[in-house]
Chains A and B, each alone.
Chain A
Amino acid sequence: MVTLTINGEQITVPEGTSIMRAAKQVHVDIPHLCYLEMLEPEYHCRICVVEIEGEPRLAPSCVRQVSEGMKVQTNSARVRRARRMIVELLLANHHIDCPTCERNQTCELLKLAFELGVKEIRFEGEKPHYELDKTSPTIIRDPNKCVLCGRCVRVCHDVQTVSVIGFVNRGLETMVSTFLENGLGNVECANCGQCIHVCPVGAIKEKSAVDEVWAVLADPEKHVVVQEAPAVRAALGEELGLPAGTLVTGRMHAALRRLGFNAVFDTNFSADLTIMEEGSELVKRVKDGGVLPQITSCSPGWIKFMEHFYPDLIPNVSTCKSPQQMFGALSKTYYVEKAGIDPARIVSVSIMPCTAKKFEAQRPEMADSGFQDVDYVLTTRELSRMIKEAGINFASLPDEPAEELMGLYSGAATIFGATGGVMEAALRTAYKLVTGKELEKLDIMPVRGLDGVKTATVNMDGLEVKVAVAHGLGNARKVLDEVREGKSPYHFIEIMACPGGCAGGGGQPISFDLVLRGIRGQVLHNEDKGLPYRKSHDNPSIKKVYEDYLKEPLGEKSHHLLHTKYTRREVV
């Protein structure tokens, strides 16, 4: 233990504690920009400097460790002047268009300027004039707003282990870019969007489809159909004045109707469908000696990552499309048959917690309906902006259900949004498929929670089914390397690209806080508990789609509409 004094107050903390952490004990949150919990501190911004008695210069508190007898001042005039000037310098090199910037509600630079009392920007001069990186269908990078904090680089390298962005050039020409500056669309970017969450300013954002969706909603010729992922209902409220951890399913459907969507369905319906198909696929592989372990395929960030870095594991990946894509295909075949609408009039929109879904929707093979199965993907953030733009008082809306045909769902579906949810849902149905009996203990606790890799064994009438769940691509590698080496003991693996699962997807309300992502996941587990059906195979709408249309899981129609192939991709 180390005893030191901060701002005149003596405290004792464990050895190795940073000054920044120690300062919390004396009720001080030292201002900072490039520091982010869960990422290695890299002291780029120098804003977190503090005065240490006896030292000639100020020290960065994010990385400097406490020492016995140290005397620290966190807010002397000298420190405050330094912080203000640094923010001034950063603003001088920043494209200041706050009123029209998507991040003006969550911009950390704007917050610092306000809180540190920056009154003027005395440095006049050149602003950067970089071209925006628009090469990716999902994510746009604007280097003119970048403050070179390096958080995006750290999350891409250290957490997601994709490593496609980094610092290039030196000195005044330093910028964050991609290999040969070819753009995100031309490298192994998984589209996970975690970079968006960690960016403190508006330098990275999703490619927006809001304008296009407003246009189709206003077009009387178009019949606009919408689906919403489970994780959206667990987080949408955060953007609309409700506290974190509020489930807003009913109000979400109500808002979508009032925005003008012609048919409000729910991705959870097709999540149940995915379980039927994937559960059957798993049982088939086990019975027929197919390739094991089977790995889930509903996370498009994971899929692109796999195509670049683990293409040798394509045989392991389930051939099932994601719920989004299964829904899209059915919206222009099953739905139009039932509703008697010309499929050419259908515009299929999805609301997703995910940025990679935008990439997934435009994959050339995702057109089995004869049309592009999903036309537009809106993130949770984009939907919230449309709701605000329409002046809808979200909190006061009544709860409304989705239309049952493709909107009724079980608890198994809704937990897809939490890490381990797909696994749990699949086990509930696989159990029935293997044993012919219903699983009694539906809450499979070992696959829940925020540990990077979770494992469980479920006894299905003597067959010991071993499963693993990984969230965050860095954690995924641990499980995948085992599979590659032929040493994997599992039958079934769930991989989600984002830490926390879809609850932490690239399109969710901005936050890299894993605890918050866990809270969102818990909201879904709570919804599951309260629903009348908790297993996918019990869902009446699922029974109906098989009876009336698909006939049976893995059947010919399913094969055609609900399953897909993958593409080996290069690493440049």
Chain B
Amino acid sequence: MERILTKNVGKPNSQDIEVYSGGGGYKALEKALGMKPEDVIAEVKKSKLVGRGGAAFPAGLKWEFTRRESAETKFIVCNADEGEPGTFKDRGILLNDPHLLLEALVIGGYAIGTSKGFIYIRGEYYREIETVEKAVEQAKAKGYLGNNILGSDFSFNVQLYKGAGAYVCGEETALLESMEGSRGCPDCRPPFPAQSGFLGKPTAVNNVETLCNIPAIMTNGGDWYSRIGSPDSPGPKLFCLSGQVNKPGVYELPMGITLRELIENHGEGVKGEFKAALPGGVSSSLLTNLDTKLDYRSVAKAGSMLGSGAVIVINKDTSIIDVAKNTIDFFAHESCGKCSVCREGTRRAREILTRFSNGGGKAEELDLLLELGEVMYDTACCGLGQAAMNATASAIRLFGKEFEQKVRK
């Protein structure tokens, strides 16, 4: 498969605008500016591109909804608050190919009809922030940002916002709250950001990786893109492989490759014997079938969630209770605390799993955890709370014996 997202990675000085445009960069923008915004959106819809941040919402539709709103002021925001454990793909793009993102962002702004774009980067990504800031200056100097871009009537500016250490701000409504100067607690949806987002205005929030597909779609057309990889979730995917695997890293591969292919052909195999994998970071359920196809539908059918494609591999020497506890520790730490069920649910789940870790578990607490997981899915305000118990619940279902061994006699 021809590389789209990582095609510039590895080129010396790939962050430089000269290298980027030398390799054909900003031509897609030129093409888009010659089209009607509605036609730009139509191509994205044709491509069937869905969000790569985890929610997998059709990107074209999101832009269309935002464009349709009658407000005068709108915004486009790039969500670069990558925080899911096991995800490190956006960092690679920000560090190595920032212009790819910028070009996409300008196209997006043109499509939805706004001249104001934001990039919200997590605060710990110091090098990446610096790189993007430099890229913005370069783009401004060359006229790809600012007034009358490439001689058109379209003007567009980018402002950077930095995160300050809160995973929950990767949730789009929490991200917008954070930008507005509030605590980063998610909002109720509906209304969606496309209708009422930043400062109450229609806002399209897109993940870094999602946006980086746009220039190629503009250049080669939506139909071309829709034929890459798996038919119902087409396109390339940046899979992040980590955990107990020999060659962790980011791999650009078509959607639909199997877990086995990813781990063995690209990751050079498991360190030890394979036990299970989390396909979508700690927010997903465990998979034990290596032949599961990694696309949204197949993973969902297997009882899990592909999410951002953060594949974490676990070997047989690892206690699954330890894994479950680590995931719950994460969510307990990162819960925003606003909604009762996530805050109190992660608090108690952590206590129960700690008891099991120490050999003092109670048998009835396993059913209690499963029930808690269902209630949290049903009632938590945002994806964090809804998914927090996924890994634990799947651990209990798939590796119940391990838990039973830790029940206090």
Q: Judge whether B368 is part of the interface by a CB distance below 8 angstroms.
A: yes
* Given A64-B190, A123-B348, A78-B337 contact (CB < 8 Å): no
Contact present for B372 and A43 (CB under 8 Å): no
* Given A82-B375, A125-B347, A125-B351, A171-B341 contact (CB < 8 Å): no
Q: Mark interface residues in A119-130 (1 if CB within 8 Å of B CB, else 0).
A: 000111110000
Pick the most buried of A64, A81, A172: most chain B CB atoms within 10 A of its CB.
A172
Contact present for A86 and B379 (CB under 8 Å): yes
Of all chain B residues, the one with the shortest Cβ separation from A84 is B375
Q: Judge whether B79 is part of the interface by a CB distance below 8 angstroms.
A: no
Q: Mark interface residues in A158-169 (1 if CB within 8 Å of B CB, else 0).
A: 000000000101
Scan residues 329-373 of chain B and give those whose CB is less than 8 A from a CB of chain A.
Answer: 332-341, 343-348, 351, 364, 368, 371-372
Contact present for A89 and B368 (CB under 8 Å): no
- Minimum CB–CB distance from A405 to chain B (whole Å) comes to 55
* Given A58-B379, A125-B351, A171-B344 contact (CB < 8 Å): no
- Which of A46, A90, A147, A167 contacts B337 (CB under 8 A)? A167
Q: Judge whether B377 is part of the interface by a CB distance below 8 angstroms.
A: yes
Contact present for B332 and A44 (CB under 8 Å): no
Contact present for A49 and B378 (CB under 8 Å): yes
Write out the residue numbers on chain A whose beta carbons fall within 8 Å of the beta carbon of B183: 167, 170
- Which of B339, B343, B345, B348 contacts A43 (CB under 8 A)? B339
Q: Judge whether B188 is part of the interface by a CB distance below 8 angstroms.
A: yes
Q: Mark interface residues in A55-97 (1 if CB within 8 Å of B CB, else 0).
A: 0011010011100000000000010011001100110110000
Write out the residue numbers on chain B whose beta carbons fall within 8 Å of the beta carbon of A276: none
> How many angstroms between the C-alpha atoms of A170 and B339 in the bound complex?
11
> How many angstroms between the C-alpha atoms of A164 and B183 in the bound complex?
16
- Minimum CB–CB distance from B187 to chain A (whole Å) comes to 9
Write out the residue numbers on chain A whose beta carbons fall within 8 Å of the beta carbon of B377: 57
Q: Judge whether B208 is part of the interface by a CB distance below 8 angstroms.
A: no
Write out the residue numbers on chain B whose beta carbons fall within 8 Å of the beta carbon of A42: 338
- Which of A47, A65, A171 contacts B334 (CB under 8 A)? A171
Q: Judge whether B204 is part of the interface by a CB distance below 8 angstroms.
A: no
> How many angstroms between the C-alpha atoms of A553 and B333 in the bound complex?
64
Q: Judge whether B166 is part of the interface by a CB distance below 8 angstroms.
A: yes
Contact present for B340 and A147 (CB under 8 Å): yes
Scan residues 133-166 of chain A and give those whose CB is less than 8 A from a CB of chain B.
Answer: 147-148
Write out the residue numbers on chain A whose beta carbons fall within 8 Å of the beta carbon of B190: 64-65
> How many angstroms between the C-alpha atoms of A78 and B86 in the bound complex?
33
Contact present for B335 and A170 (CB under 8 Å): yes
Size of the chain A interface, CB-CB below 8 angstroms = 36
> How many angstroms between the C-alpha atoms of A63 and B187 in the bound complex?
11
> How many angstroms between the C-alpha atoms of A172 and B388 in the bound complex?
14
Q: Judge whether B386 is part of the interface by a CB distance below 8 angstroms.
A: yes
Contact present for B351 and A58 (CB under 8 Å): no
Contact present for A44 and B340 (CB under 8 Å): yes
Of all chain B residues, the one with the shortest Cβ separation from A49 is B379
Q: Judge whether A317 is part of the interface by a CB distance below 8 angstroms.
A: no
Q: Judge whether B380 is part of the interface by a CB distance below 8 angstroms.
A: yes
Contact present for B341 and A58 (CB under 8 Å): no
Q: Judge whether A45 is part of the interface by a CB distance below 8 angstroms.
A: yes
- Minimum CB–CB distance from B400 to chain A (whole Å) comes to 19
Of all chain B residues, the one with the shortest Cβ separation from A90 is B340
Write out the residue numbers on chain B whose beta carbons fall within 8 Å of the beta carbon of A81: 371, 375
Write out the residue numbers on chain A whose beta carbons fall within 8 Å of the beta carbon of B129: none
Contact present for B344 and A82 (CB under 8 Å): no
Write out the residue numbers on chain B whose beta carbons fall within 8 Å of the beta carbon of A124: 351
Scan residues 376-395 of chain B and give those whose CB is less than 8 A from a CB of chain A.
Answer: 377-381, 386
Q: Judge whether A173 is part of the interface by a CB distance below 8 angstroms.
A: yes
Q: Judge whether A174 is part of the interface by a CB distance below 8 angstroms.
A: yes
> How many angstroms between the C-alpha atoms of A46 and B336 in the bound complex?
15
> How many angstroms between the C-alpha atoms of A174 and B364 in the bound complex?
29
- Chain B interface size, as a band, is 20 to 34
- Minimum CB–CB distance from B120 to chain A (whole Å) comes to 18
Of all chain B residues, the one with the shortest Cβ separation from A91 is B344
Of all chain B residues, the one with the shortest Cβ separation from A124 is B351
* Given A58-B378, A174-B343, A85-B336 contact (CB < 8 Å): no
Contact present for A122 and B368 (CB under 8 Å): yes
Write out the residue numbers on chain B whose beta carbons fall within 8 Å of the beta carbon of A173: 337
- Minimum CB–CB distance from B393 to chain A (whole Å) comes to 15
> How many angstroms between the C-alpha atoms of A46 and B386 in the bound complex?
13
- Which of A43, A65, A171 contacts B332 (CB under 8 A)? A171
Scan residues 153-208 of chain A and give those whose CB is less than 8 A from a CB of chain B.
Answer: 167, 169-174
Contact present for B380 and A171 (CB under 8 Å): no
* Given A43-B188, A122-B368, A123-B348, A171-B333 contact (CB < 8 Å): yes
Contact present for B340 and A126 (CB under 8 Å): no
* Given A85-B372, A89-B345, A45-B336 contact (CB < 8 Å): no
* Given A57-B378, A60-B188, A172-B337 contact (CB < 8 Å): yes
Write out the residue numbers on chain B whose beta carbons fall within 8 Å of the beta carbon of A65: 190
> How many angstroms between the C-alpha atoms of A63 and B333 in the bound complex?
27
Contact present for A86 and B340 (CB under 8 Å): yes
Write out the residue numbers on chain A whose beta carbons fall within 8 Å of the beta carbon of B372: 85
* Given A63-B188, A89-B348, A170-B166, A148-B340 contact (CB < 8 Å): yes
Contact present for B337 and A169 (CB under 8 Å): yes
Contact present for B378 and A172 (CB under 8 Å): no
Q: Mark interface residues in A11-53 (1 if CB within 8 Å of B CB, else 0).
A: 0000000000000000000000000000000111111010000
> How many angstroms between the C-alpha atoms of A42 and B341 in the bound complex?
14
> How many angstroms between the C-alpha atoms of A64 and B346 in the bound complex?
25
> How many angstroms between the C-alpha atoms of A57 and B381 in the bound complex?
10
- Which of B333, B351, B375 contacts A86 (CB under 8 A)? B375
- Minimum CB–CB distance from A408 to chain B (whole Å) comes to 53
- Which of A57, A63, A64, A93 contacts B347 (CB under 8 A)? A93
* Given A125-B347, A171-B334, A89-B379 contact (CB < 8 Å): no
- Across chains A and B, which 3 residue pairs bring their CB atoms closest together, nearest first? A174-B337, A89-B344, A171-B335
| B binding-site residues for A, Cβ under 8 Å | 166, 183, 188, 190, 332-341, 343-348, 351, 364, 368, 371-372, 375, 377-381, 386
| A binding-site residues for B, Cβ under 8 Å | 42-47, 49, 57-58, 60, 63-65, 78, 81-82, 85-86, 89-90, 92-93, 122-126, 147-148, 167, 169-174
What are 23 A-B contacts defined by CB distance under 8 Å? A42-B338, A46-B340, A46-B341, A46-B379, A65-B190, A81-B371, A86-B341, A86-B375, A89-B341, A90-B344, A92-B344, A123-B344, A123-B351, A148-B337, A148-B343, A167-B183, A170-B183, A171-B333, A171-B337, A171-B346, A172-B343, A172-B346, A172-B347
4 A-B pairs besides A85-B371, A123-B368, A174-B338 with CB distance below 8 A are A89-B348, A126-B347, A167-B337, A169-B337
